[in-house]
């Protein structure tokens, strides 16, 4: 009885240890590759940033307006930092693939094939998100400046709403491009647009009817040049 | 002449027939049929009275008026001998009436005048606005006389204005031009100027006619270009300037974008000229100063202060991009002040304007956004000025402006340092 029990435990244990003996070096190799790869990614990022700063990359990149465009669109990182980050993430991805290839060459092939076929769409999606972010910041700021200068109440809310709408629109485009969540994105956009416009119209027309009347009267007076002030600024 | 021209063939033929001229007076116009007749009368009377022995040409450079402006110029009677109290019949003034070519704007109209002056080899020129109601024949003597008789190249106008009028000029343009270029030109964007034929040729040689200079920035461009070229500059007192409202529909922030954008662009282009200038000196002045009764100007200070408060609060993230911490803190401290006691310290305003010039240079923000975000701060400064100057007479107004300019001159070294370092830095008193 004891022999049977010991045998029934011992056999799976032996098989596990045998499998472990085979797997352990593989896992160790994966860990080493990941550690070296991540360290390399961090080192390359730091070195590249230092090198680019040394050669005055930020200044060079400022000339054709690259840095200006980034800053204007709200990305406040220096160009050298952005390049460093980009290379770091490329090395991280390569490291993960290398680690995967140690575990299973077949799985790596599948992932690589999927990446090759999916990369253009992913890149286009990412580009749409980046462009969408820049456009939403620009449009939001334009609305804010216009509404504050026109002394519209709740200018920040208005600008934030417009920025959100533009952002959601581009996110919907990106998701559509990637091929998933299309319906959700469209529904969210429709709710925001339709619901938002309706809510704003009701709020302005009912709750703020006096404000609406005053605003319209002021706009009419301004259009006719009838404002009491005759200050000549020039 | 074989070089490219912007003049139409009939104009070239007419110029050939005229041959040459000593004086050219340009009147740019666009739908000014109501007022241009008076301007033509005053110009021709002035030429007849003060320059009877000189060959003169009057140029109407029109932007495609649809109200018959050129017809009014063509039909206008020249100044009669009786009107100007001379016994001798005035010499004939040739009239050249043409539609200008290029971008629509006063700059393109002036370019046509410059080219005509150069082709006729004029010794002295003047340009006057077509919507003037207060122009008199004496303006011609004052704008052209210093060029013909005293050897000056550029004559800026000097007008009597209400203390609340011309606030962009008083709080931004005059102090900045004075502090940077070192010359006290009181109205650098006055609109009516006198200049030598040599300077007209110099203007024409610049390739700026496809830019904003051709559209709306010509006044400050002419003044700063003359200063940059070290031409002899003076100013002439013309009395009051009364003219039609420029464009009642034009929004203040658009006006600010045009004026400050043109000024900052010139400052950027002329860095080498102003970097080492210290202090400022007066420019020679012509004309007889006299008191002028000015219409009261109603101002809604409450609206301005409200605009300032809202702007400082809502634009906080925008200002964080180019105003230093100290300036932003002080601006924030001003919000919520009672309207009647609202006061923006002189130095705070100077630091703000210098920061904007710097941010324009560093491209810290989209240019249009940057310049439009100045509107609430400018309104705050204007409200502060209206409160401060409520009981000021003309002399006190000039003293206050002198003090403001002195602060600009005092902070200029810090602007130069920040400009050269290419970064926003804290201002010290």
The residue among A203 and B361 whose pLDDT is bigger is: B361
Q: Are residues A83 and A143 in the same domain?
A: no
* Range of the structural domain that residue A40 is part of: 24-103
Q: Measured between beta carbons, which residues in chain B are less than 8 angstroms from residue A142?
A: 369
The verdict on A63 touching B (C-beta cutoff 8 Å) is no
Mean pLDDT on B25-37: 94
Would you say residue A109 lies in a domain? no
Task: State yes or no: pLDDT of B248 exceeds 50.
Answer: no
CA-nearest residue to B244 within chain A is A232
Contact B153, B197 (CB under 8 A): no
Residue range A115-159, pLDDT digits in tens: 777 778 888 888 998 899 999 999 999 999 999 998 888 899 989
pLDDT > 90: percent of chain A? 18
Q: Among A141-150, B72-81, B272-281, B377-386, which is the least confidently predicted range?
A: B72-81
| Cα–Cα dist B131/B364, whole Å | 38
CA-nearest residue to B174 within chain A is A234
Q: Among B156-160, B312-316, B391-395, which is the least confidently predicted range?
A: B391-395
The verdict on B252 touching A (C-beta cutoff 8 Å) is yes
- For position B423, what pLDDT does the model report? 82
The residue among A221 and B121 whose pLDDT is bigger is: B121
Q: Are residues A76 and A131 in the same domain?
A: no
ipTM field: 0.86
Contact B310 A65 (CB under 8 A): no
Count CB pairs under 8 A between chains A and B.
82
Task: State yes or no: pLDDT of B297 exceeds 60.
Answer: yes
Contact A91, A37 (CB under 8 A): yes
pLDDT tier at B318, thresholds 50, 70, 90 = very high
The three-class DSSP label of residue B298 is coil
Task: State yes or no: pLDDT of B142 exceeds 50.
Answer: yes
Nearest-Cα distance to chain B for A162, in Å, is 15
Task: State yes or no: pLDDT of B118 exceeds 90.
Answer: yes
Task: State yes or no: pLDDT of A181 exceeds 70.
Answer: no
Q: Measured between beta carbons, which residues in chain B are less than 8 angstroms from residue A232?
A: 165-166, 245-246, 297
> Cα separations (Å) of B244 from B36, B129, B175, B333?
11, 10, 26, 39
- Of B248, B256, B376, nearest to A225 by CB-CB distance is B248
Predicted TM-score (pTM) of this structure: 0.80
Could you give the number of structural domains in chain A?
A: 2
Mean pLDDT of chain B: 91
Burial of B151 (0-12, 13-18, 19+ CB in 10 A): exposed
Would you say residue A11 lies in a domain? no
Decide if domain B9-159+184-240 falls under CATH 3.40.50.300. Answer: no
Contact B249 A223 (CB under 8 A): yes
Q: Are residues A52 and A129 in the same domain?
A: no
Q: Are residues A98 and A127 in the same domain?
A: no
Q: Among B245-254, B259-268, B387-396, which is the least confidently predicted range?
A: B245-254
**Residue after which a domain boundary falls, among A103, A138, A163:** A103
Residue range A37-61, pLDDT digits in tens: 999 999 999 999 999 888 877 776 6
- For position A53, what pLDDT does the model report? 85
pLDDT > 90: percent of chain B? 77
- For position B107, what pLDDT does the model report? 95
- For position A54, what pLDDT does the model report? 85
- For position B313, what pLDDT does the model report? 95
Q: Are residues A44 and A70 in the same domain?
A: yes
Task: State yes or no: pLDDT of B42 exceeds 50.
Answer: yes
The verdict on B366 touching A (C-beta cutoff 8 Å) is yes
- For position A107, what pLDDT does the model report? 77
pLDDT tier at B136, thresholds 50, 70, 90 = very high
- For position B26, what pLDDT does the model report? 96
**Which one of B363, B374, B376, B389 makes the best mutation probe of the A interface by having the most chain A beta carbons within 10 Å?**
B363
The residue among B269 and B394 whose pLDDT is bigger is: B269
Task: State yes or no: pLDDT of B123 exceeds 80.
Answer: yes
Residue range B45-97, pLDDT digits in tens: 999 889 989 999 999 999 999 999 999 998 887 655 555 556 566 677 899 99
> Which of B121, B76, B120, B126 is CA-nearest to residue B97?
B76
Residue range B162-189, pLDDT digits in tens: 888 889 999 999 999 999 999 999 999 9
Q: Are residues A39 and A78 in the same domain?
A: yes
Task: State yes or no: pLDDT of A4 exceeds 80.
Answer: no
Q: Measured between beta carbons, which residues in chain B are less than 8 angstroms from residue A229?
A: 298-300, 303
Interhelix angle B252-269/B375-388, rounded to 10 degrees, is 100
Mean pLDDT on B17-27: 94
The residue among A106 and A45 whose pLDDT is bigger is: A45
- For position B106, what pLDDT does the model report? 94
The verdict on A64 touching B (C-beta cutoff 8 Å) is no
**Which one of B314, B372, B383, B420 makes the best mutation probe of the A interface by having the most chain A beta carbons within 10 Å?**
B314
- For position A62, what pLDDT does the model report? 59
Overall size of chain B counted in residues:
429
- Of B189, B299, B307, nearest to A234 by CB-CB distance is B189
Where do the domains of chain B lie? 9-159+184-240, 301-421
**Which one of A64, A149, A158 makes the best mutation probe of the B interface by having the most chain B beta carbons within 10 Å?**
A149
Residues β-bridged to residue B216: none
Contact A145 B372 (CB under 8 A): yes
Mean pLDDT on B369-397: 93
Mean pLDDT on A197-203: 75
Would you say residue A111 lies in a domain? no
Q: How far is CA B254 from the centre of its chain?
A: 16
Radius of gyration for chain B, computed over Cα atoms and rounded to the nearest angstrom: 22
Task: State yes or no: pLDDT of B335 exceeds 80.
Answer: yes
B51 Cβ contact partners less than 8 Å away, ≥ 6 residues apart: B22, B23, B140, B141, B144, B148
| Cα–Cα dist B6/B260, whole Å | 29
Q: Are residues A132 and A211 in the same domain?
A: yes
Would you say residue A124 lies in a domain? yes
Q: Measured between beta carbons, which residues in chain A are less than 8 angstroms from residue B169?
A: 234
The verdict on B246 touching A (C-beta cutoff 8 Å) is yes
- For position A80, what pLDDT does the model report? 83
pLDDT tier at A64, thresholds 50, 70, 90 = very low
Contact B160, B239 (CB under 8 A): yes
Task: State yes or no: pLDDT of A31 exceeds 50.
Answer: yes
Task: State yes or no: pLDDT of A8 exceeds 90.
Answer: no
Q: Are residues A132 and A97 in the same domain?
A: no
The residue among B391 and B23 whose pLDDT is bigger is: B23
């Amino acid at each position: 009885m004891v022999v049977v029990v010991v045998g029934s435990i011992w056999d799976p244990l032996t098989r596990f240890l045998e499998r472990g003996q085979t797997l352990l070096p593989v896992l160790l190799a994966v860990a080493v590759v990941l550690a070296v790869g991540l360290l390399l990614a961090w080192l390359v990022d730091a070195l590249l940033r230092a090198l680019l700063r040394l050669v005055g990359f930020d200044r060079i990149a400022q000339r054709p307006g690259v840095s200006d465009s980034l800053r204007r669109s709200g990305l406040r990182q220096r160009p050298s930092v952005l390049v460093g980050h980009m290379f770091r993430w490329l090395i991280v991805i390569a490291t993960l693939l290398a680690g995967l290839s140690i575990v299973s060459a077949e799985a790596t092939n599948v992932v690589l094939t999927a990446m090759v076929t999916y990369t253009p769409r992913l890149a286009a999606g990412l580009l749409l998100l980046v462009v969408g972010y820049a456009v939403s910041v620009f449009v939001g700021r334009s609305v804010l400046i216009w509404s504050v200068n026109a002394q519209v109440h709740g200018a920040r809310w208005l600008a934030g709403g417009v920025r959100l709408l533009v952002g959601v629109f581009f996110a919907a485009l990106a998701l559509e491009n990637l091929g998933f969540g299309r319906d959700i994105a469209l529904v969210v956009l429709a709710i925001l647009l339709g619901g938002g416009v309706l809510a704003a119209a009701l709020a302005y027309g009912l709750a703020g009817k006096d404000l609406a009347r005053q605003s319209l009267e002021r706009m009419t007076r301004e259009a006719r040049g009838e404002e009491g002030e005759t200050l000549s600024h020039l | 002449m074989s070089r490219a021209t912007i003049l139409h063939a009939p104009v070239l033929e007419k110029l050939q027939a005229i041959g040459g001229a000593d004086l050219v007076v340009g009147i740019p116009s666009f739908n000014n049929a109501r007022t241009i007749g008076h301007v033509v009368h005053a110009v021709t009377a002035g030429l007849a009275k003060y320059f009877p022995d000189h060959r003169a040409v009057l140029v109407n450079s029109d932007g495609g008026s649809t109200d018959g402006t050129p017809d009014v110029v063509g039909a206008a009677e020249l100044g009669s001998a009786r009107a100007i109290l001379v016994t001798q019949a005035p010499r004939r003034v040739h009239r050249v009436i043409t539609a200008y070519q290029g971008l629509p704007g006063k700059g393109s109209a002036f370019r046509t005048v410059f080219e005509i002056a150069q082709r006729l080899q004029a010794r002295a020129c003047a340009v006057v606005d077509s919507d003037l109601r207060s122009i008199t024949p004496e303006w011609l003597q004052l704008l052209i006389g210093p060029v013909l008789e005293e050897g000056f190249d550029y004559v800026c106008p000097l007008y009597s204005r209400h203390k609340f009028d011309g606030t962009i000029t008083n709080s931004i343009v005059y102090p900045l031009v004075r502090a940077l270029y070192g010359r006290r030109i009181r109205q650098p964007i006055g609109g009516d100027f006198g200049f030598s034929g040599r300077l007209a040729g110099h203007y024409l040689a610049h390739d700026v006619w496809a830019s904003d200079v051709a559209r709306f920035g010509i006044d400050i461009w002419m003044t700063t270009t003359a200063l940059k070229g070290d031409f002899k500059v003076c100013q002439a007192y013309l009395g009051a300037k009364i003219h039609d409202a420029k464009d009642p529909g034009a929004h203040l922030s658009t006006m600010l974008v045009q004026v400050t954008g043109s000024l900052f662009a010139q400052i950027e282009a002329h860095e080498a000229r102003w970097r080492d200038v210290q202090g400022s000196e007066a420019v020679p002045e012509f004309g007889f100063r006299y008191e002028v009764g000015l219409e009261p100007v109603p101002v809604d200070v409450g609206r301005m202060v409200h605009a300032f408060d809202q702007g400082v609060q809502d634009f906080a993230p925008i200002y964080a991009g180019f105003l230093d911490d100290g300036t932003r803190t002080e601006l924030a401290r001003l919000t919520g002040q009672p309207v009647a006691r609202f006061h923006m310290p002189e130095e705070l305003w100077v630091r703000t304007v210098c920061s904007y010039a710097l941010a324009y240079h560093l491209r810290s923000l989209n240019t249009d956004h940057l310049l439009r975000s100045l509107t609430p701060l400018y309104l705050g400064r204007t409200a502060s000025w209206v409160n401060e100057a409520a009981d000021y007479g003309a002399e006190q107004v000039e003293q206050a402006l002198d003090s403001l300019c002195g602060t600009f001159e005092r902070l200029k070294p810090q602007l130069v340092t920040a400009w050269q370092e290419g970064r926003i830095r804290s201002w010290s008193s």
